[in-house]
Structure formats: C-alpha cells, structure tokens
Amino acid sequence: MHRVTITLDDDLMADLDRMIEQHGYQNRSEAIRDFARAGMQQAAQDAGKAGGECVAALVYVYDHAARDLSSRLVNNFHNHHDLSLATLHVHLDNDNCMEITALKGRTADVQHLADHVIAERGVRYGRVVMIPTDPGAKPSAARKRPAHRHT
C-alpha cells in the first residue's frame, strides 16, 4: 500500500463524507479506493479499452408497440445466446416496457451487444453496467459493512 495525500475543497469533502455514510464504508481510504476503481473501470469502458471478462446488467426501456422491435430484440439476444443469462420483463404502462438482462462474457462482446440493443429504433433509454470478473482484476477488499436494514 502507498500513502497518498490529497487536497479537497470543503464542498467536495462534505459530499465524499455523505457518500461514505450512505454506502456504509468504515473509513475514507476504503471509499476512495472503491471510487477510484469504479472511475477507472468506467473510463476504460467509455474508451472501449476494457478487456477481459465481465458480468453486466443491461437495462433498457422501449415502446412495446414499435414496429417489429420485440422481434429484433429477441433476434439480438438469440444471435448472442452465449452472452445472455436471463431477462426480466416489466410492463411500465400502456406504451412502455423495461427489460433487465444479465450478461456474461468478454467485455468487448458484451459492450457490442449492449450498443446494438440500445441503438434499436424504439428503445427509448438504455444503459449497461459492467463489472470485471478477470482473475487479474483486483476485486474490492472484503468490507465489514453494516447490513442494510429494511423497515
């Protein structure tokens, strides 16, 4: 481990402390390590440089009445059956459906499939969240966080 000293303005420090509290981190160092890893992973994904294996959640909202969209979406997933693990379909209202698909595979392949699904005409919103699963990727250290309580 290396010790690093950083300077943060008061507003950013207050925001960081709120995030630490909300997420249940034990200390600032633990939080900053996780935030740095997440930021680097997102930057690599955005730049198309993320390599290796990942798991992902693809979330998208679409117009269920859009011409042939359901068929095109099914074809996308059938053409990439090796990546798709499961899909949850939710009827939001008369016009909109949301699907959440769990994916697993090479990061580039998962991103390619996600991009194609999100780009389909009739898909109104889409986002993919990838988590690396490489043996070489450093996972977050096990944390002793308080369990979330549901009241």
Tell me the per-residue pLDDT of 100-126, one tens digit each, with 9 for 90 and over.
999 999 988 999 999 999 998 899 999
β-bridge partners, 89 = 99
DSSP state of 48: T
What is the distance between the alpha carbons of residues 62 and 90, in angstroms, rounded to a whole number? 11
- The token pair at 121 is 């005409």
23 is an annotated ligand-binding site residue: no
What torsion do the CA atoms of 74, 79, 82, 83 make, to the nearest 10 degrees?
-60
> Do the beta carbons of residue 130 and residue 111 sit within 8 Å?
yes
Mean pLDDT on 6-25 = 87
Task: Find, among 105, 107, 78, 73, the residue nearest to 89 by Cα.
Answer: 73
What is the distance between the alpha carbons of residues 41 and 66, in angstroms, rounded to a whole number? 34
pLDDT at 45: 63
Q: Is 103 exposed, middle or buried (0-12, 13-18, 19+ CB in 10 A)?
A: buried
Give the type of residue at 102.
A
In the block, residue with structure tokens 């459906």? 97
80 is an annotated ligand-binding site residue: no
- Of 43 and 93, the one with more pLDDT: 93
pLDDT tens digits along 50-106: 578 899 999 999 998 888 888 888 888 988 999 999 999 999 999 999 999 999 999
Predicted TM-score (pTM) of this structure: 0.63
81 is an annotated ligand-binding site residue: no
116 is an annotated ligand-binding site residue: no
